[in-house]
């Protein structure tokens, strides 16, 4: 019911192709009252770029019409309309192309079913009008081939069955932009988009990919070129308040013109722009124009002149003559920077021509009797155009390959578009992005890559801790805890070192822990070794003295055989402490506890035998007593052997069931490994210690009972005193051993062995040696049997 609209550019032919371009970028906003028929849309702002696209279409059609190989004998015509980038207008013009734009309606008796007026439609440039066109024309399967509509949504064949394009989908471009941002280490960026299908869908895909790559958006704003100025100023305020220095702009060139004007007005600079294909090729902004006819408007804008009928008395511009020459004219119409997009239009026209050529069965000439059907044309769209590969996949999209363009200002004020890289989705993921960093020029003509991060990178040795309520790119760097490291930049976590390792001071490397054990080289180990050897030598000296004076009364008293066996066992006690020093091994761990247990039982068994001899000797002097008969030398040997054999059996059982073994203790010290001997079986260890304790208590009780027997040199007194020292040492040993860390617990055990051994040696044998060497006159049998006490106890 609307008024018919004539095409701006048209030509008759055997086969008609439709064209839809935005020769204007905007329109006058008006409010309809719906009380009368709305006036036609008033378009403004001449768009030289779409004029160039239309010119490319015309050039391709003329070239095909002059060709003898492609569609010979068939003339291609065209009807090209101006959509002004308006969706509603695009829908009306689509129907006009499909129906033929008749003024008179079809008679009721005539058939409504007939071929479409055009066999294919070239266009539109923007995604939103293209979506409207493809939606309306899709049910009729008229091919729509766009050269610049990149919205990924158009790949949906269920919604747009007849849509194809010669430019890659934003599905790939958005991801390419995200990978480009990631490549330069920009993790904190701003985002601006056109508030239409192109910008919203493209930015949504970019945001999704960016988040997956660890990139955060400080802000994401949208606007349309017809929005009120307040909204644009709000966006400027948002950018001013931001800290990011990189702006990803998914804008059409029309919105970019508006934004650049506002940036210039507010004197904003120093931002690094990352742009989509829609504006990155634009070298100049659009020109505002009046409502004159397109040709007049185009001529006046191109040559900067005015036709007489449009000039006023106040005009000082020169008058148009119609003879103006394009040579020397430099503006966006003569700018060839968009040649790749012109080529997209060119390839689209040729794709349709090849499909038509195959449909009408052309040999030397084409048949005019074939009934053309847009559905058949759509199926036969060709894959190659004169050696230049054109590929439409199942979604109607070509292969995605992008040149990466860097704007580089020159001395004469001209901005040169320099290709600095390539993004090719046909390659492996790690090879898709190829950049030449040396040739890049950044914001403010800098040679250094700008930095745009919310937080500086966390160096090795630290980890990221997210700031509450902020994006994941905003974090604090916290030093790793002791025993943990991070050896990469921007680590999210610290890794705990293996048990045998510890973190260094910088917390970026695990270093092997120091192995700690009681060694002969350190002072404490050397002192204990010296004490052990001194005790051994001291005991050996006593043996020599006793052997030399073995015939004397003091040596022969109370079984000299037990005395020599006791001295021998004391030597073993002193020497067994050496097994506790040095690096633990399987043999040393088994030897140190068993040797200690057996030698001490041997020693206490001898003392127990001596004490029992004193008690039995006294009872043997009583009338009628036959104790001596039952406790002679043989019985004493059997007593010592029996007591010792019990400890040997305990040790054998311990070693065969669960023996001690070398182990690494990681718990005592965080940064050290304590090499120690694990008990294996705690029951076996405490059985050995407990048996020694039982014998020591028996020996102490017997010696205590015999301490007041009438004898000038009562050995029981000295045994009692030595056992007091022995028991005191081992009673205090238990809490000291448990509370001492690491190698100090071993030192405590060695000290207990040496202290108790010295206690036995000094208390029992030193008084005898004193008599032998210093008081030989008292070393007689008469004196030994005297009634006076030496008061040594």
| pLDDT tens per residue across span 338-377 | 677 788 899 999 988 888 888 887 777 777 666 777 777 7
Contacts (Cβ under 8 Å, ≥6 apart) of 340: 281, 403
Q: What is the pLDDT of residue 284?
A: 52
Q: 């690094």: which residue's tokens?
A: 272
Q: Which of 26, 61, 142, 23 is nearest to 345 (CA)?
A: 61
Q: Is the pLDDT of residue 637 over 50?
A: yes
Mean pLDDT, rounded, for 633-652: 85
Q: Which of 383, 391, 374 is nearest to 354 (CA)?
A: 383
Q: What is the pLDDT of residue 708?
A: 63
Please state, in angstroms and rounded to a whole number, the distance separating the CA atoms of residues 77 and 57: 11
Q: What is the pLDDT of residue 745?
A: 83
Provide the pLDDT confidence category of residue 624 given band limits of 50, 70 and 90: low
Provide the pLDDT confidence category of residue 793 given band limits of 50, 70 and 90: very low
Mean pLDDT, rounded, for 638-666: 88
Q: Is the pLDDT of residue 114 over 90?
A: no
Q: Which of 193, 128, 120 is nearest to 154 (CA)?
A: 128
Mean per-residue pLDDT over the chain, rounded? 81
Q: What tokens were used for 254? A: 């029309």
Q: Could you give the strand order of the β-sheet that contains 188-194, starting from the edge strand earlier in sequence?
A: 216-223, 188-194, 246-250, 272-275
Q: What is the pLDDT of residue 231?
A: 92
Pairing of β 246-250 and β 272-275: parallel
DSSP letters, 194-220, are ESSHHHHHHHHHHHHHHHHTT-EEEEE
Mean pLDDT, rounded, for 630-648: 79
Element (H, E) at 662: strand 661-665
Contacts (Cβ under 8 Å, ≥6 apart) of 352: 17, 119, 120, 122, 143, 145, 377, 381
Per-residue pLDDT of 300-311, as tens digits, reads 555 566 655 544
Please state, in angstroms and rounded to a whole number, the distance separating the CA atoms of residues 9 and 349: 16
Higher pLDDT, 18 or 665: 18
Contact 256, 279 (CB under 8 A): yes
Contacts (Cβ under 8 Å, ≥6 apart) of 587: none
Contact 288, 44 (CB under 8 A): yes
What are the C-alpha distances in Å from 380 to residues 133, 143, 351, 391? 21, 11, 9, 13
Mean pLDDT, rounded, for 479-508: 91
Please state, in angstroms and rounded to a whole number, the distance separating the CA atoms of residues 70 and 354: 7
> pLDDT > 70: what percent of the chain?
82
Q: Is the pLDDT of residue 24 over 80?
A: yes
Mean pLDDT, rounded, for 265-281: 87
Q: What is the pLDDT of residue 216?
A: 93
Q: Which of 101, 138, 103 is nearest to 121 (CA)?
A: 138
Weakest mean pLDDT among 30-44, 243-257, 363-377, 478-492: 363-377
Buried b (16+ CB within 10 A) or exposed e, 78-114: bbbbbbbbbbebbbbbbebbbeebeeeeeeeeeeeee
Three-class SS state of 653 = helix
Q: What is the pLDDT of residue 316?
A: 46
Provide the pLDDT confidence category of residue 179 given band limits of 50, 70 and 90: very high
Q: Is the pLDDT of residue 410 over 50?
A: yes
Weakest mean pLDDT among 214-218, 226-230, 376-380, 668-672: 376-380
Three-class SS state of 317 = coil
Q: What is the pLDDT of residue 792?
A: 35
Higher pLDDT, 632 or 8: 8
Higher pLDDT, 556 or 579: 579
Query: Which of the residue ranges 91-100, 213-222, 393-402 has the most confident prediction, judged by mean pLDDT?
Result: 213-222
Provide the pLDDT confidence category of residue 271 given band limits of 50, 70 and 90: very high
Provide the pLDDT confidence category of residue 611 given band limits of 50, 70 and 90: confident
Contact 284, 330 (CB under 8 A): no
Mean pLDDT, rounded, for 116-130: 87
Please state, in angstroms and rounded to a whole number, the distance separating the CA atoms of residues 716 and 753: 22
Provide the pLDDT confidence category of residue 617 given band limits of 50, 70 and 90: low
Q: Is the pLDDT of residue 270 over 80?
A: yes
Q: Which of 94, 134, 142 is nearest to 116 (CA)?
A: 142
Weakest mean pLDDT among 41-45, 206-210, 386-390: 386-390
Please state, in angstroms and rounded to a whole number, the distance separating the CA atoms of residues 33 and 611: 130
Q: What is the pLDDT of residue 791?
A: 39
Per-residue pLDDT of 701-760, as tens digits, reads 877 776 665 554 456 677 778 888 888 888 887 788 777 777 888 888 888 889 888 888
Three-class SS state of 2 = coil
Q: Is the pLDDT of residue 211 over 60?
A: yes
Q: 């700018």: which residue's tokens?
A: 335
Provide the pLDDT confidence category of residue 318 given band limits of 50, 70 and 90: low
Contacts (Cβ under 8 Å, ≥6 apart) of 628: 616, 617, 620
DSSP letters, 541-571, are HHHHHHHHTTTSHHHHTTTHHHHHHHHHHHH
Please state, in angstroms and rounded to a whole number, the distance separating the CA atoms of residues 120 and 378: 8
Please state, in angstroms and rounded to a whole number, the distance separating the CA atoms of residues 724 and 553: 27
Element (H, E) at 121: strand 121-123
Provide the pLDDT confidence category of residue 191 given band limits of 50, 70 and 90: very high
Three-class SS state of 576 = helix
8-state DSSP, 467: P
Provide the pLDDT confidence category of residue 326 given band limits of 50, 70 and 90: low
Provide the pLDDT confidence category of residue 328 given band limits of 50, 70 and 90: low
8-state DSSP, 109: T
Provide the pLDDT confidence category of residue 789 given band limits of 50, 70 and 90: very low
Please state, in angstroms and rounded to a whole number, the distance separating the CA atoms of residues 698 and 414: 110
Per-residue pLDDT of 133-167, as tens digits, reads 999 998 888 899 999 898 889 999 899 998 999 88
Q: Is the pLDDT of residue 77 over 90?
A: yes
Contact 461, 479 (CB under 8 A): yes
Q: Is the pLDDT of residue 478 over 90?
A: yes
Q: What is the pLDDT of residue 321?
A: 66
Q: Which of 612, 618, 607, 611 is nearest to 631 (CA)?
A: 612
Residue 565 half-sphere exposure toward CB, CA atoms < 13 A: 23
Q: What is the pLDDT of residue 625?
A: 53
Farthest-apart Cα atoms in the chain, separation: 165
pTM of structure: 0.62
Q: What is the pLDDT of residue 140?
A: 86
Contact 605, 695 (CB under 8 A): yes
């Amino acid at each position: 019911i609307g008024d018919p609209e004539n095409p701006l550019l048209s030509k008759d032919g055997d086969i008609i192709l439709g064209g839809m371009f935005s020769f204007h970028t905007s329109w006058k906003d008006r409010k309809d009252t719906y009380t009368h028929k709305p006036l036609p849309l008033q378009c403004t702002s001449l768009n030289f770029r779409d004029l160039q696209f239309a010119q490319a279409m015309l050039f391709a059609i003329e070239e095909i019409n002059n060709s003898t190989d492609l569609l010979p004998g068939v003339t291609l015509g065209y009807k090209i309309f101006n959509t002004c980038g308006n969706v509603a207008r695009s829908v009306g013009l689509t129907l006009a192309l499909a129906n033929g734009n008749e003024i008179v309606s079809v008679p009721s008796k005539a058939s409504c079913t007939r071929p479409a007026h055009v066999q294919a439609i070239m266009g539109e440039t923007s995604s939103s009008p293209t979506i409207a066109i493809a939606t309306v024309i899709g049910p009729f399967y008229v091919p729509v081939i766009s050269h610049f509509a990149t919205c990924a949504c158009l790949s949906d064949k269920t919604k747009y069955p007849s849509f194809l394009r010669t430019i890659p989908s934003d599905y790939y471009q958005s991801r390419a932009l995200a990978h480009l941002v990631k490549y330069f280490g920009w993790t904190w960026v701003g985002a601006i988009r056109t508030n239409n299908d192109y910008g919203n869908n493209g930015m949504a895909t970019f945001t999704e990919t960016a988040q997956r790559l660890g990139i955060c958006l400080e802000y994401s704003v949208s606007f349309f070129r017809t929005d009120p100025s307040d909204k644009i100023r709000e966006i400027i305020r948002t950018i001013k308040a931001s800290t990011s220095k990189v702006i990803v702009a998914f804008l059409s060139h029309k919105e970019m013109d508006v934004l650049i004007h506002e940036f210039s007005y507010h004197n904003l600079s120093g931002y690094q722009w990352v742009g989509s294909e829609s504006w990155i090729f634009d070298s100049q902004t659009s020109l505002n124009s009046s409502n004159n006819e397109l040709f007049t408007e185009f001529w006046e804008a191109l040559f900067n002149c005015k036709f007489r009928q449009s000039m006023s008395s106040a005009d000082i511009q020169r008058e148009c003559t119609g003879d103006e020459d394009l040579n020397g004219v430099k503006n966006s119409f003569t700018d060839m920077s968009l040649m790749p997009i012109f080529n997209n239009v060119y390839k689209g026209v040729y794709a349709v021509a090849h499909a038509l050529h195959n449909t009408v069965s052309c040999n030397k000439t084409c048949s005019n009797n074939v009934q053309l059907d847009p559905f058949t044309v759509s199926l036969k769209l060709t894959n190659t155009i004169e050696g230049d590969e054109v590929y439409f996949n199942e979604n109607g999209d070509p292969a995605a390959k992008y040149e990466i363009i860097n704007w580089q200002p020159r001395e004469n004020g001209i901005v040169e578009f320099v290709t600095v890289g390539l993004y090719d989705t046909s390659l492996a993921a790690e090879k898709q992005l190829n950049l030449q960093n040396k040739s890049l020029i950044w914001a403010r003509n800098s040679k250094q890559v700008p930095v745009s991060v919310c937080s500086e990178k966390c160096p090795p040795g630290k980890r990221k801790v997210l700031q509450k309520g902020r994006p994941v790119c905003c974090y604090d760097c916290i030093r790793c805890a002791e025993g943990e490291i991070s050896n990469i930049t921007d680590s999210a976590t610290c890794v705990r070192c293996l048990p045998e390792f510890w973190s260094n001071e910088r917390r970026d490397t695990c270093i092997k822990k120091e192995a700690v054990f009681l060694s002969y080289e350190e002072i404490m180990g050397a002192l204990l070794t010296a004490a052990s050897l001194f005790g051994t030598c001291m005991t050996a000296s006593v043996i020599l003295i006793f052997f030399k004076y073995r015939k004397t009364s003091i040596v022969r008293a109370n079984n000299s055989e037990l005395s020599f066996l006791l001295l021998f066992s004391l030597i073993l006690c002193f020497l067994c402490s050496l097994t506790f020093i040095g690096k633990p091994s399987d043999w040393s761990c088994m030897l140190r506890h068993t040797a200690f247990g057996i030698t001490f039982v041997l020693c206490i068994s001898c003392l127990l035998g001596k004490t029992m001899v004193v008690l039995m000797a006294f009872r043997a002097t009583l009338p009628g007593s036959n104790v001596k008969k039952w406790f002679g030398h043989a019985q004493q040997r059997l007593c010592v052997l029996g007591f010792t054999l019990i400890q040997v059996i305990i040790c054998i059982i311990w070693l065969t069931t669960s023996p001690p073994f070398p182990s690494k203790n990681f718990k005592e010290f965080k940064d050290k490994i304590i090499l120690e001997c694990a008990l294996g079986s705690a029951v076996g260890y405490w059985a050995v210690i407990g048996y020694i304790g039982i014998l020591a208590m028996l020996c102490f009780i017997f010696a205590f009972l015999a301490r007041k027997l009438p004898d000038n040199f009562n050995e029981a007194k000295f045994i009692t005193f030595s056992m007091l020292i022995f028991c005191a040492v081992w009673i205090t040993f238990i809490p000291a051993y448990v509370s001492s860390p690491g190698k100090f617990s071993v030192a405590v055990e060695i000290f207990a062995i040496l202290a108790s051994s010295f206690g036995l040696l000094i208390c029992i044998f030193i008084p005898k040696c004193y008599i032998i060497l210093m008081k030989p006159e008292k070393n007689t049998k008469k004196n030994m049997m005297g009634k006076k006490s030496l008061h040594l106890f």
